[in-house]
Structures are given as structure tokens and as C-alpha cells.
Chains A and B, each alone.
Chain A
Amino acid sequence: MSNDPTHQFQISKIVPIEIGGMDFSFTNASLFMVATVACAAGFLYFSTANRGLIPSRMQSVAEMSYEFIASMLREGAGSHGMKFFPMVFSLFMFVLTANLLGMFPYFFTVTSQIIVTFALALFVIGTVIVYGFYKHGLHFLNVFVPSGVPGVLLPLVVAIEIISFLSRPISLSVRLFANMLAGHITLKVFSGFVVSLGALGALGIGGAILPLIMTVALTGLEFLVAFLQAYVFAVLTCMYLNDAVHPGGH
């Protein structure tokens, strides 16, 4: 394996597939998407298979994640927003599992690809826009007109609101992508230092202790980030869905 810290984001074909001149190969990214889905769905499926009245440990983890997202969505988007629960829960579990799987050495991190996070963000914003117009018609545009703003400031505020709305898919996707990417690169760089310094002899081995400690600390931090980014993604999804459910009702 190369020492290049961006090597881990390299996509390599496993089963080449080409349709209409476009490359739809089954790659390592695809493999880890499948693995992510299999792990997340498998965990939720098998841990709840007993439907125990008194939950086993695994079942209570599954229930906790369910209730965690359910209360998040209820607080964020009200009880009307609960129809989006399968979507938010799926997004959260998918991102969380992908992030955590990415923490295994030599594993590919699905969420470190901007196209993946951007697609997920567009899915969220697309849902907000489609549901908003479907449910409220043109009243959905009230999202851009906050109540209680004096008439003079209104054009400015509306402009700001439109820009902030348009930047949502970008901020949502880049936040997750950049966090995963930067975290994995930093880890790789510091662990690379350990190897490089270790090759320099006794003094180097002594010096390698610092980056080693750093690598251990960063690994802990990365697990935190893996969860936190999934959480942030879900919280923001809930907030954006709130606009679709209650436009102008801030």
C-alpha cells in the first residue's frame, strides 16, 4: 500500500460495467455501500427479530437509535414531520454506519466522496422542495419571507434567505465530506510519521512516540466525529424538513 494519504480515497473497479459509454462499474465504493447497507439493515433486522418485550442489549441499541431519531424529528419538525421518519432514520443509519465502517483500517469510507454526500443532501433538499410545493403550493415560498420583518428590510432578508436555502445542499454535503476526508487524511499522515520516523533508528523510534500518541487520540476523535457528523446530518435534515412541513412558521 502506498504512503500517499489520498490513496485511501482511490476508487478501483471490481466488476467493470459500462452502459452507453458511461462507467457504472461495481467498485470498492459500491462494495462498501453494499456493506454499509447490509450492516445497518442486518443489525436492525436481527437485533429486533425476537421482538422482546424486555429488550436484549442489541435490541435496545436498535430501539435507542429509533427513539433518538424519532424524538429528534418530533422536536425538529413537529408531529406532522413524523411521516419523514423512515427517511431520516435511513439517512442517519446509512451515514453513521458508513462513517464507522470507514474507521476500519484498509476500509473504504463511502461518505468521504463528495458525490455521495452531495447526492444525499440533494435527496433531502429535493424532498423538502417537492413536498413543500405539493403540500402548500405557492405558500411554500413563505419559507423565504420570515414573519415580523419591517417592509424596508424585506427584499434584503428575502435575498439572504434564498441564498441560505440554496447553500443548504452544499453546506450539508461539504460538512460531512470534508470532516470524513480531513479526519482520515490526518490519521493517515500521523500514522505515516510513525513509520517514517521509526525507520530512522533509535532516535527516530523515540521521536515516533509523539505521532503515535497523536494517532491514538485522533482515532478516538474520529469515532466521535463519525457519530457527530451522522447526528448533525440528521438534525439538519429535520430542520430542513420542518420548512417543508411548516413554511414560514418559524
Chain B
Amino acid sequence: MFVTPAFAQDGAPANGETHGAAGNVHTETGVAHGEHGTGVFPPFDQSTYPSQLLWLVITFGLFYLVMQKVIVPRVGGILEHRHDRIAQDLDEASRLKAEADAAVETYEKELAAARAKAGSIADQARDAAKTKAAADRAAIEAELSSKLSAAEARISDIKARAFAEVGTIAEETAAAIVDQLIGAKATPEDVKAAVAAAKLEA
């Protein structure tokens, strides 16, 4: 089957007669092979086998040795090293991350503490201000109430005095009215008694 394409090629250019019988074709290709010694299809030419086997054993054997002793350990080492390095870097990264997390946690703790402290200071200040304000107010209220009571006392005093004077004025007025009306002097006792009576009636 591998000879047929040979025929197609050898025959195509000019040689019309090779298109004839299959036997002719074989001779044609046979001649072509003749140049190289044997007429067998090259891969099946057993006379080349010992040489091919020998050189295959030599070359592949050497190749295998080089691969086993040099290439595989080297490439394996490179990959291993890279793998280790990546693992190491990842470890380092996770360690740093843990550190960063711890730092953030500490910071937040401190922040919370500072906040709490600030809150308590503010509370204290507010409480102090409140107590002072209350105390001031109480003092002012006390002062005011004492002033108020003093003022009330003075007012009632004035009122009492005024009331007291009202009697005298009424007596004098009544005496004057009596004098005017009847031309007789009323005794101060009578007037006094009459005013007191009128006061009582009112």
C-alpha cells in the first residue's frame, strides 16, 4: 500500500507506460530503491535494525541518564523551591495580617477606653456644673426669699402704721365735719368711739 503513492508520483510527469499494469509500477519503484541497495520498504529493511537498535540504546540511554541525574532533579528542585517560597510568602503574609489585626484590635480597645474616659470626664464636669448651679440657685433663692420676707415685713409694718393713722385722720375729719355741721365741738372721746363703731360696722 505504501508503494502505490510512489507510482502516482513517478508515473504522473511523463512516463505514460507506467500507468499500465501493476507489475510495471513495482519495477519502477524497485529501480528507485535500487539506488540505495535493497529493494525493501526502508522501515522493514532488517539489515538496518542492528545499527538502529545500537544507536537507539546509546542515545536514549544517555538521554535517560541525563534526564535522571540532571534534568529531573533540577526542574523538580526549581518547582519545589518555588512552591516552598510561595508557601513561605503566604505564611509571612498571614503572619503580617495577624499582626495587623492585633494592632487594629489594640487600637480599637484604646479608642474605646479613651472614649469611655472622655465620657466620664464629661459626666463629671456636667454633674459638677449641675451641683454648682443648683447650689447657686438655692443661695440666690434664699437671699431673694429673705429679701422678700424683709420687704413683706416692711410693707405690713407700713400698712399697720397706715391703718393706725387712718383712725386718727378719720377722728380729725369726723371732728372737723361735726364742727362744720353743728358748730359744736365734739369731744375727742366721742369721736373716737364713733369712729371705732363705724370701723367695726365696716
B:1-35 near A, CB below 8 Å: 2-3, 5-6, 8-10, 12-13, 29, 32-33, 35
Say yes or no for A142: interface residue by CB 8 A criterion: no
Residues 25-54 of B, flagged 1 when their CB comes within 8 A of A and 0 if not, give: 000010011011000011111011111111
Interface residues of B in 66-98 (CB under 8 A from A): 66-68, 70-72, 74-79, 81-82, 85
Q: Give every chain B residue within 8 A of A41 (Cβ-Cβ).
A: 63, 66-67, 71
| Chain B residues, CB < 8 A from A10 | 36, 42
Closest B residue to A12 using CB positions? B36
Given contact pairs A94-B63, A189-B5, A181 touches B43 in the complex (Cβ within 8 A):
yes
Scan A82-111; emit 1 where CB is below 8 A from any B CB, else 0.
000111011001100000000000000000
Whether the Cβ atoms of A30 and B55 lie closer than 8 Å is yes
Partner of A113, one of B3, B52, B60: B52
A22-B50 CB under 8 A given contacts A37-B59, A53-B85, A185-B2: yes
Of the candidates A26, A59, A193, A196, the one having the most CB atoms from chain B within 10 angstroms of its own CB is: A196
Do A86 and B64 touch (CB < 8 A)?
yes
B186 → chain A closest CB, angstroms: 138
Interface residues of A in 50-71 (CB under 8 A from B): 51-53, 55, 59, 62-63, 66-67
B32 in contact with A7 (CB, 8 Å): yes
Interface of A is mostly: helix
Contact with B along A111-123 (1 / 0, CB 8 A): 0111110011000
By the criterion of a CB under 8 Å from any partner CB, how many residues of chain A are at the interface?
62
Taking the complex as formed, is B56 at the interface, i.e. its CB lies under 8 A from any CB of chain A? yes
How far is the CB of A193 from the nearest CB of chain B, in Å? Answer: 7
Chain B residues near A3 (CB, 8 Å)? 9-10
Chain A 136-167 near chain B by CB (<8 Å), digits 1 or 0: 00000000000000000000000000000000
Inter-subunit contact A24/B54 (CB<8 Å)? yes
Residues in chain A near residue B72, CB distance under 8 A? 66, 85-86, 89
Chain A residues lying within 8 Å of B13, measured Cβ to Cβ, are: 196, 199
Chain B, interface size: which category? 35 or more
CB pair B79–A63 under 8 Å, yes or no, is yes
In the complex, residue of chain A having the shortest beta-carbon distance to the beta carbon of B9 = A192
Task: Tell me, yes or no, whether A25 is within 8 Å of chain B by CB.
Answer: yes
- Tell me, yes or no, whether A36 is within 8 Å of chain B by CB: yes
- Cα distance A80–B65 in the bound complex, in angstroms: 21
Point out the residue from B41, B52, B54, B63 that lies within 8 Å of A6, measured CB to CB: B41
Residues of B whose CB lies within 8 Å of any CB of A are 2-3, 5-6, 8-10, 12-13, 29, 32-33, 35-36, 41-45, 47-57, 59-60, 62-64, 66-68, 70-72, 74-79, 81-82, 85
Cross-chain pairs A/B with CB under 8 angstroms, 30 sampled: A2-B35, A3-B10, A4-B32, A5-B9, A6-B6, A6-B29, A6-B42, A10-B42, A11-B48, A30-B51, A30-B55, A33-B59, A34-B59, A41-B67, A48-B75, A59-B78, A63-B78, A86-B67, A87-B64, A89-B67, A89-B72, A90-B63, A90-B64, A114-B43, A115-B53, A116-B56, A119-B57, A181-B43, A186-B5, A192-B9
The chain A residues found within 8 Å of chain B, CB to CB, are 2-7, 9-12, 17, 22-27, 29-30, 33-34, 36-37, 40-41, 44-45, 48, 51-53, 55, 59, 62-63, 66-67, 85-87, 89-90, 93-94, 112-116, 119-120, 177, 181, 185-186, 188-189, 192-193, 196-197, 199
